Chains A and B, each alone.
Chain A
Amino acid sequence: MATTTVTRENVEAKVVEAIAELGPDIEQVTPYATFESLDVDSLDLVELTQVVEEEFGVVIPNEAAAKLTTVGDAIEYVVAHGS
């Protein structure tokens, strides 16, 4: 399934793009932005984890997803857990 190599650049680009598709303006989606400030809710986060799983083959379990508070947290998680 995974199609893209896990590099920080690839992950950041995809995560930012996926979050922007959920509603927020892409300029607001910085690594320091919190999901709360971007109005990204729990259902949005599940959708984000599915994009990440399809793109990079990295599964973010519910318990881990619950601890992600910023865009950067999500990027770090994928980079750390990618092959």
Chain B
Amino acid sequence: MAAERPGPTARSATGSALVTGASRGIGAAVAATLAAEGWPVGVSYRTDSEAADAVVAGIEARGGRAMALAGDVAGSDTAGNLIDALEERFGPVLVLVNNAGVRADGLALSIRDEEWDRVIETNLTGTFRLTRRALRPMLKARYGRIVNVASIVGPRANPGQANYAASKAGVIGMTRTVAAEVARRGVTVNAVAPGLVDTDMTEDLSPDLLDAVPARRAGTPEEVAACVRFLASEEAAYVTGATLAVDGGLSA
């Protein structure tokens, strides 16, 4: 079995990958995929340490390397703490996947300040702070891959998610600008914009939503992870500032 696993690339032999919100859903699938590519992976999580440990154990069982890292990305010191801990064990962060995200839905009229702030701070500010911190080792290495998990509701409308949509539109705007700032250093910054993907985050949504999806089904975390894997690869060197929709045609 071990022979089927691709050997570490030159890059993954010298650095590490960090995936936030990696204890479940899309983040867990991304962590597993990057580990299979040879990257030692930081599996960051906020609350569910058991789930994060299970993701790490799964990666190790397949011959990969990973460590669980606790931290709420909405915290002002979290980016530094997560990356310091990861780099101490696995070397400079050369791949960052900003996946951690929360929802607090309601019509705009009824969204409370706390619900607005929590969503913006986790999804947008957390992504910014991790990006800012990860750029240091990436610029030094003249190599880096940042992939932000946005959402199709960033560029589109979705009643009941003004806070979430604003945070994801913000992520897409930030992705473009930071991409332009660092492109000449071999660092790329891209986003994926999932549509309806079958995770804990979407389990309460009405099945009627599927009727709006041309593919007539929800996506899987693995299908999103495959796109992240490409954007995080050396081969994607000339793709930067892009947002890749992964939505079964929902935004087509």
Residues of A whose CB lies within 8 Å of any CB of B are: 43, 47, 50
B237 surroundings in chain A (CB, below 8 A) = none
When chains A and B are docked, how far (Å) is the Cα of A50 from the Cα of B135? 11
Instruction: List 5 tightest A-B contacts by C-beta distance, closest first.
Output: A47-B139, A50-B136, A43-B181, A43-B185, A43-B182
Chain B proximity of A52: nearest CB distance (Å): 13
A50 surroundings in chain B (CB, below 8 A) = 136
Chain B proximity of A20: nearest CB distance (Å): 15
A47 surroundings in chain B (CB, below 8 A) = 139-140
Q: Contact residue range for chain B?
A: under 10
Q: Which secondary structure dominates where chain A touches chain B?
A: helix
A43 surroundings in chain B (CB, below 8 A) = 139, 181-182, 184-185
Chain A proximity of B80: nearest CB distance (Å): 11
Residue in A closest to B181 when the chains form the complex, CB atoms: A43
B140 surroundings in chain A (CB, below 8 A) = 47
When chains A and B are docked, how far (Å) is the Cα of A43 from the Cα of B186? 13
When chains A and B are docked, how far (Å) is the Cα of A47 from the Cα of B182? 12
Within 8 A of A (CB), among B167-186: 181-182, 184-185
When chains A and B are docked, how far (Å) is the Cα of A50 from the Cα of B182? 16
Chain B 165-208 per-residue mask, 1 if CB under 8 angstroms from chain A, else 0: 00000000000000001101100000000000000000000000
Residue in B closest to A50 when the chains form the complex, CB atoms: B136
When chains A and B are docked, how far (Å) is the Cα of A47 from the Cα of B185? 12
Chain A proximity of B185: nearest CB distance (Å): 7
When chains A and B are docked, how far (Å) is the Cα of A6 from the Cα of B139? 26
B136 surroundings in chain A (CB, below 8 A) = 50
Within 8 A of A (CB), among B122-174: 136, 139-140
